[in-house]
Amino acid sequence: MIPAWQIHRNALVWLLLAFAAVILIHSAHLPNWITLAALVAVIWRVQRYRGVWPTPSRWVKLSLLAMCVAGLFLEYGKLTGLEPMVALLVSAYTLKLLEMEHRRDALLVVFLAFFIAAVQALFDQSIGNAIYILGCILLIIAALVGLHQGDVLLSTQSQALFKSHALRPLKKGLVILLQAIPLMILLFIIMPRLGSLWAVPIQSHSAKTGVTDTMSPGDYSRLGRSADLAFRVSFDGEIPRQHQLYWRGLVLSDFDGRQWSRSGLDSYSGRDLNDGGFLQWFGKSIQPWDSLIERLGQPIRYSVVMEPSQQPWLYSLPTPVPQSTGVALTRDFWLLSSAPVTAKTQYEVDSWLDYKVAANDLSNYRQSIELEIPPGYNPRTVELAQRWRRETSNDKALIRKVLGLYNEQFVYTLQPPLLGKHSVDEFLFDTQRGFCGHFSSSFVFFMRAAGVPARVVAGYQGGERHPDNYLLVRQYDAHAWAEVWIAGEGWIRVDPTAAVAPERIEANLEEALGDNEGFLADSPLSLMHFRHINWLNSLRLKLDSLNYSWARWVLGYDSIQEDLLEKWLGAYNPLRIALALLIAGGGLLGLLALWQLRHRFSSKHDELDRVFLRLCQTLEKAGIPRETGEGPRAYAQRVAEQRPDLARQVKGINAVYEHMRYGSEGQERLKVLKNAIRRLK
């Protein structure tokens, strides 16, 4: 007999399966060494159960703990932030599995598994992830059931009869999970979603790529290797043409010779400027600087579902006006969220694609920012820009001349050569190979050196049109372009990349690169690689449509829930919600209790006795009735004497009945007994 405090074999199997599933779901944002350590812990646990490897000593466990903490500091630099804290939690989970000896230790491992599985929802709220988390919970419940059920010591004959014993915890766990689903649905429908009781720290070591608030020439070629989704967009009407889809993100005005960044004016601290506050929040008063933009024609409205970026800036088409709470329009006409986007976020926007911005005048302060170049950098470009300035009649002619230079001599590639201190000089006069970051950076520097105000704009361009009439914008759609100020016209968009590779703007990045092997190099498992295979591409689009519908439903559920409760309860207040929960929840729990107790009211015999009485009825029809007071074993012996042809079957059934009635085994053999009696008939 296995002691009650010891972990049974069947329970250990389900515990390790649950452990592997929980670690696997977090592997994408965990350091590789933690995943490897988890694998070693599983192997050690199995070998420890077999008695091959010893239990880790106290010094070994303390050493492993110190190594984990040191590894996390080396990996992240600190332990604050979502990813470092999750990595620390998973490390503790792994170490606890390693030192687990008694059932109370195993129970702690199970409770940790529930929490760690739920934490995955902070990283991914897709429908596929939700289904996987439910699968993890099922395995964890199976482990919990196994811990409360002892191993059954089976004979060779019994093992042949009861092959399903190993799956018993999983079946019981599935029943428990199914019983909990009605209550879960009730809580989801009625309970309002509350704000978190703590602030989830911003990820400090995110594995996702995205547009940042600085730009070096090589940054966007890095993003061109990733197929990760940036955001999806649904339009109220037709999707604009591809060359109109410039998703404006950040305005970068400061250049230190190597890197572009936002200027000191581009602060979202909310401080007041001479021309008004920097931010114009949705629902608040309009700032004076809003009059600098002239919106022409009719607006287009669209809804954006943005993936987590860990940054506060949002993306929109030109001249946006936010239509969602918590979204602001900045002084340079890009959108800002009230908090970093750490989870899927939905917002609505109106945009005017026909516009003029600051057409009449540009302040001296703004001109000084948009004309500044770092002294001592790129002397050849400065000399050429000033010479061309003298040779051209106006700013537009100069722009055309520079774009002509790009069109004639430059190559668009994801694998440009490295650049030194004078990056613009080396790019324009030597390498002449680059990506959008190279073209926009060199163009803006050239225009500033020629005395024309210019700046870099970072964001995305284009997107994949889904058959369900929405747009998918991915990381490889990241793009940088230029804005140049022309007197009488204001800020106009100039995209030098279009002069080098117009197919990048009119089609997509893949068309522009052709057979360039760098495309999607960072996403080797992406289905985007197989778009030429019709059935795989169709499957990819259907899966994305399902995920998008799920995301929009979840993100918009607050208003759906409020309308539903007002319709059902007449008013949306805490008292009515509490009463609804009490009545509906109590009713569900009562039904579950009645279902569990149903056999107590149906017969004075339990199910095992009813099965044995069915055997007696079968034998009575064969002419061998059971006598009053005759015990099961005596009855079986008499049947064997009168009908030798039935002796083996009847004695076998009686042996199982006695073992179940007076032994330590559960009720899972009832099905086998029923089948045996059915064959006897």
Determine which one of 8, 436, 477, 544 is catalytic: 436
**DSSP SS3 for 162:** coil
Q: Among residues 656, 610, 617, which one has the least CA distance to residue 633?
A: 656
Q: Position of tokens 């950076």? A: 441
Instruction: Classify residue 299 by burial, with Cβ atoms within 10 Å: 0-12, 13-18, 19+.
Output: middle
User: What gap in Å lies between CA 134 and CA 118, rounded to an integer?
Assistant: 9
User: What gap in Å lies between CA 317 and CA 349, rounded to an integer?
Assistant: 9
User: What gap in Å lies between CA 334 and CA 349, rounded to an integer?
Assistant: 11
Note if 479 is an active site residue. Answer: yes
Alpha-carbon distances, residue 499 vs 140, 452, 460 (angstroms): 58, 19, 18
User: What gap in Å lies between CA 25 and CA 48, rounded to an integer?
Assistant: 26
Note if 436 is an active site residue. Answer: yes
Q: Among residues 199, 162, 36, which one has the least CA distance to residue 667?
A: 162
Question: 171 and 546 in contact (C-beta within 8 Å)?
Answer: no
Q: How many CB atoms neighbour CB 592 within 10 A?
A: 14
Burial code of 84-122, b = ≥16 C-beta within 10 A, e = fewer? bbbbbebbebbbebbbbeebeebeebbebbbebbebbeb
Write out the two tokens for 644.
């030798």
Determine which one of 26, 395, 479, 544 is catalytic: 479
Handedness of CA 316, 322, 324, 329 (dihedral sign): positive
User: What gap in Å lies between CA 451 and CA 491, rounded to an integer?
Assistant: 15
Instruction: 413-419: list long-range contacts, CB under 8 Å, 24+ apart.
Output: 413/221, 413/513, 413/516, 413/518, 414/221, 414/224, 414/225, 414/513, 414/516, 414/518, 414/519, 415/221, 415/516, 415/518, 416/217, 416/218, 416/221, 419/217
Determine which one of 124, 219, 477, 495 is catalytic: 495
Question: 233 and 304 in contact (C-beta within 8 Å)?
Answer: yes
Active-site residues, by number, are 436, 479, 495
